[in-house]
Structure 1
């Protein structure tokens, strides 16, 4: 999975496994396809910094929940990667 608004990506690393995806910003975890998509949604949401739009914040919270990480931690990691 790639994005036209961020450099982050997710790649399928195995066939026939439930946990078959790896996200560029969560490289130490194997993810389901739904989790990989959630990782991409989070990455796109913080492209321009932390959004003030409540609808976008809700999408971020849901995506972080899918990944099992606090939204604050996800935002921190993504913003840190973007500034590197």
Structure 2
């Protein structure tokens, strides 16, 4: 799992989901592709990308460390891990 972080964009080698910086100088200046209605902080955008990578495969079901990381990332975004999983799994199968 690799998340590529640049000044204005975050991408992944496992998923097509992206995070893009949409403003300069604001705390809530990032948008994550799978949460398009929300503006988030840089830390939250990174958490959103981590969730996208985690749910890009099925290893989260077998690895307690990865499952714990998913919960932590969802908490950073202020959402339930089940909600994140539902959205991302739906986008993966679409």
Q: TM-score, normalised by structure 2?
A: 0.87
Specify every segment of 5 or more residues in structure 2 that has no aligned partner in the other structure, as ranges: 1-9
Count of residues in Structure 1 that have an aligned counterpart in Structure 2: 84
Query: Does the aligned pair in 2 maintain the 1:21–1:31 contact within 8 Å?
Result: yes
Q: In proportion to residue count, which structure has more strand?
A: 2
Shift of 1:48: 1.1
Output aligned runs, 1:17-56, within 5 Å: 17-49=26-58, 51=60, 52-56=62-66
Secondary structure (helix, strand or coil) at the match of 1:69 reads: coil
Q: CA RMSD in A?
A: 0.9
- After TM superposition, where is structure 1 displaced by more than 4 Å over at least 4 residues in a row? none
Query: Does the aligned pair in 2 maintain the 1:20–1:32 contact within 8 Å?
Result: yes
Q: TM-score, normalised by structure 1?
A: 0.97
Question: 2:87: which partner in 1?
Answer: 77
Asked which structure has the greater RCO (Cα within 8 Å, sep 6+), the reply is 1
